[in-house]
A and B are shown apart, each in its own frame.
Chain A
Amino acid sequence: MLTRIPPRVRALLILSILILIAPMLFPSSFYYRIGTLIFINSIAVIGLVILIGYAGQISLGHAGFSGIGAYACALAPTHLGLPPFLSLILGAVISGLLAWFVGRPILRLKGHYLAVATLGLGMLISMVLNNEAQFTGGPDGMMVASLGLTKGLEGLFDVNLKTSVVWYWFAGVMVLLGAWIALNLYNSPTGRVLRSVHDSEIAAKTVGADVARYKLVAFVISAVYASIAGSMLALFNRFITPDIASFLHSVELVTMTVLGGAGSVLGGIAGATLLTALPQALTVFHEYEHVMLGLIMMLVMIFMRDGLLPTLRKTLTRRAIA
């Protein structure tokens, strides 16, 4: 019965159910924060699924766009008097424009050259955030205005709400929205061209696709996703440091995408879930925490080449057939 529903509706359905029932299993309100962080990371990762999974381009600098989004929310309310939500949009617009502007020359590069160019782009953004301390507070970070979600809801319904609970639902809805857009893109004409670029750029070019334009579209969309995720993290934590734009965060995002299964939105979300929750579980290993993290990353990539979710799915279908 489930098979008759179109795959993208099925994916959204599964995601909604998971978001709805997860809180029933939370032992304490702390887990709402973990849930929210998973959703925020998922949004950035969905963007990378479009770039890496659909279009087959790599980026080691997307944390830079998260940094732009985060600092837009930190700076625009005080300097431009914008409300936080509009600051989030402003950050997304700036990130999108920057990606569009640098995307053309950068995306002409291939493979590892593309990796090092995006890495450089991310480094440059993170250096500006670190160095311009009179605006950004430097490496010690700065406070961020509140989005006012909790206050607003409390005012509306005259109840007492926990910020992380409110954010869990807000970020959950945002993930659904992000996944819905990405899933629709997958089946759109643009998505089909992107996937053909992934398989073979030259073949796509030969059949008449404007490859450069489509790659640029994927790059810009993924930058906007990363920027929105950065804005949300800043507004959720109400405090931000340049660490959000660091090389290590870029690597973390790519790792989430690939570990879960770069080809699918659900896979990306699975990767974000694993890598966000794992450090909390690994605290039991104390000083062996990092050893375990490295080991898990290697084992997953060696034994589940398509990523966590696609491999699981394959195993399950095989068992179902047998």
Chain B
Amino acid sequence: MSEFLQFVFSGLTVGAVYALVALGFTIIYNASSVVNFAQGEFVMLGGMATVFIFDAGVPIWGAAALAILLTATIGILLNKLAIEPARGASVVNLIIITIGASIFLRGLAQIVFDKQIHRFPAFSGDTPFNIAGATLLPQSIWVLFGAAAVFIGLYAFFTRTLMGKAVLATANNRLAARLVGINTNFIMALSFALSAAVGATAGVLVTPITLTSYDIGVMLALKGFAAAMLGGMGNPFGALVGGLLIGLIEATTAGYLSSDYKDAAAFIVILLTLFVMPQGLFGQKSMERV
């Protein structure tokens, strides 16, 4: 029993990170139908920038806030310089553009930062809690609550605020949104900023546990994308569930079956799910007009 609990703790911690990356995908996808493959780089930038600002002598909270702000700015620039000029381009074009952006950001990070692996201290120390024979790091609790807070915050933003509703309106029908007076360009910029900030927050929360370096983004984008698709693209709740599920599948496969094939297990589950539910777990059925 205690080992099962240990696998669950491990799966939830890792899964929460996937969920945050998947949420980042969802925000941008909803506002612009773009799948942003540079999403993993936002996580990397959040962690790496915090490391370097922290090393320069800024307290950890200030460093984290600055790093998130910096990443959000980069998100806005990405939208302004690469996505906006390509409006109306095909889906595949946009995918290649964001892949190009991720290569670009990685290349920049290895020059501005470095190619070493980094870490900063955990927020509340490294002494694990002992729960029914399993151990949980205080930082894991930070990650879990951080992910929950981000999710609830986003939910409230989209359903309770006028600005949030404007984003949803833009996502539904760009032209109609503009007709009722919504500044859709601003909404796009806002979505990229928000998505980048969510990614950077994940980077800040998780770096004390998983460490960071300039090239961690590739794998995270892959897993986050898979999580978003498993949950159903465009559905924030689906992103959350998809991320946690993949984390749990990986951890229990590594624990009970074979650590060699834990990534394989996650992808097999995704494939089987999509065969049965082609829109993912919580995705909406889309209609094609002729």
**Do chains A and B directly touch (beta carbons under 8 Å) in the complex?**
yes
**Given A113-B229, A127-B261, residue A258 in contact with residue B275 (CB < 8 A):** no
Which residue of A58, A119, A287, A293 contacts B103 across the interface (Cβ within 8 Å)?
A293
Please give the residue numbers on chain B whose beta carbons come within 8 Å of chain A beta carbons, in ascending order.
35, 82, 85-86, 89-97, 99-108, 110-111, 218, 222, 225-226, 229, 233, 260-261, 263-264, 267-268, 270-271, 274-275, 278-280, 286, 288, 290
Contact among A124, A200, A259, A294 with B107 in the assembled complex (CB-CB below 8 Å) = A294
Residue of A nearest to B260 (CB): A131
Given known contacts A112-B229, A291-B107, is B93 in contact with A305 (CB within 8 Å)? yes
Q: How far is the CA of A58 from the CA of B93 in the complex (A)?
A: 12
Closest to A122 in B: B267
Q: Which residues does chain B contribute within 8 Å of A296, judged by CB atoms?
A: 100
A110 x B278 contact (CB < 8 A): yes
Whether the pair A121, B271 counts as a contact (CB closer than 8 A) is yes
- Our pick among A128, A262, A297 for the contact of B100 (Cβ within 8 Å) is A297
* A212 within 8 A of partner (CB): no
Q: How far is the CA of A105 from the CA of B272 in the complex (A)?
A: 9
B35-A301 in contact (CB<8A): no
CB of A120 within 8 A of CB of B270, answer yes
**With A290-B106, A301-B86 in contact, do A254 and B92 touch (Cβ < 8 Å)?**
yes
Chain B, Cβ-Cβ closest to A295: B104
- Shortest distance between the CB of A202 and any CB in chain B (Å): 5
B261–A119 CB distance below 8 A: no
Some 18 contacts from A to B, beta carbons below 8 A apart, are: A105-B275, A108-B278, A110-B286, A111-B91, A112-B91, A112-B229, A113-B229, A113-B274, A113-B279, A115-B95, A116-B229, A127-B261, A254-B96, A287-B111, A291-B108, A292-B107, A293-B103, A294-B106
Q: Which 6 A-B pairs have the closest CB atoms?
A: A294-B104, A290-B107, A297-B100, A294-B103, A120-B267, A291-B107
B132: min CB distance to chain A, Å: 33
Given A110-B286, A116-B226, 18 more A-B residue pairs with CB atoms under 8 Å apart are A113-B280, A120-B226, A124-B264, A127-B260, A200-B288, A201-B288, A202-B290, A254-B92, A287-B111, A288-B107, A288-B111, A290-B103, A293-B107, A297-B103, A298-B82, A298-B97, A301-B93, A301-B97
- How many angstroms between the C-alpha atoms of A302 and B102 in the bound complex? 15
The chain B residue with its CB closest to the CB of A255 is B96
Find out whether the CB atom of B100 lies under 8 angstroms from the CB atom of A294. yes
Tell whether, in the assembled complex, residue B290 and residue A203 are in contact, meaning their CB atoms are under 8 Å apart. Answer: yes
Instruction: Tell whether A94 is near chain B: CB-to-CB under 8 Å.
Output: no
Is the C-beta of A109 less than 8 angstroms from some C-beta in chain B?
A: yes
CA–CA, A111 and B102, complex, Å: 21
Interchain nearest-CB distance for B277 vs A (Å): 10
Question: In the assembled complex, which residues on chain A have CB atoms less than 8 Å from the CB atom of B270?
Answer: 116-117, 120
The chain A residues found within 8 Å of chain B, CB to CB, are 52, 58, 105-106, 108-113, 115-117, 119-121, 123-124, 127-128, 131, 200-203, 206, 247-248, 251, 254-255, 258-259, 262, 287-298, 301-302, 305
CA distance A289 to B103 in the complex (A): 10
For the complex, what is the distance from the CA of A202 to the CA of B289, rounded to whole Å? 8
Query: Residue on B with the closest CB to A53?
Result: B92
How far, in angstroms, from A208 to B260 measured CA to CA in the complex?
Answer: 46
Nearest A residue (CB) for B289? A202
Most-contacted residue by chain A among B91, B103, B268 (CB, 10 A): B103
Residues of B within 8 A of A254 (CB): 92, 95-96
Number of residue pairs spanning A and B whose beta carbons lie under 8 angstroms apart: 131
> A124 vs B262: C-alpha distance in the bound complex, in angstroms?
11
Chain B residues within 8 Å of A292, by CB: 107
Determine which of B261, B268, B279, B290 lies in contact with A200 in the assembled complex, contact meaning CB atoms within 8 Å: B290
Min C-beta distance of A32 to chain B, whole Å: 28
Do B102 and A294 touch across chains, with their CB atoms under 8 A apart? yes
Which residues of A are found within 8 Å of B86, using beta-carbon distances?
301-302, 305
Contact A206 B290 (CB under 8 A): yes
Decide if A58 touches B274 in the complex (CB within 8 Å): no
How far apart are A125's CB and chain B's nearest CB, in angstroms? 10
Of A112, A119, A202, A259, the most chain B CB neighbours within 10 A belong to A112
> In the complex, which residue of chain B has the Cβ closest to the Cβ of A203?
B290
Contact residues in A for B229 (Cβ distance below 8 Å): 112-113, 116
Contacts of B222 in A (CB 8 A): 119, 247
A-side contacts of B90, CB under 8 Å: 305
**A301:B103 contact, CB within 8 angstroms:** no
Checking B102, B106, B226, B286 against A119 with a beta-carbon cut-off of 8 angstroms, the contacting residue is: B226
Contacts of B226 in A (CB 8 A): 116, 119-120
CB <8 Å contact, B279 and A297: no
Residue from B96, B218, B225, B290 in contact with A259 in the complex, judged by beta carbons closer than 8 Å: B96
> Closest chain B residue to A132 by CB distance?
B260
Q: Which residues of B contact A105 (CB under 8 A)?
A: 275
Q: Nearest chain B CB to A139's CB is how many angstroms away?
A: 12
Inter-chain contact A113/B102, CB cutoff 8 Å = no
CA distance A294 to B90 in the complex (A): 19
Q: Which residues of B contact A301 (CB under 8 A)?
A: 86, 89, 93-94, 96-97, 100
CB-CB nearest in chain A for B103: A294
Given contacts A110-B278, A113-B274, contact A124 B111 (CB under 8 A): no
Contact residue among B35, B110, B225, B267 (Cβ-Cβ distance under 8 Å from A124): B267
Residues of B within 8 A of A291 (CB): 104, 107-108, 111
For the complex formed, measure the closest distance between the CB of A297 and the CB atoms of chain B, giving whole angstroms: 3
Closest-by-CB residue of B relative to A292 is B107
A303, chain B: closest CB distance, angstroms: 8
Q: Is the CB of B271 within 8 A of A117?
A: yes
Please name all residues of chain A whose beta carbon is closer than 8 Å to the beta carbon of B106 when the two chains form the complex.
290, 294
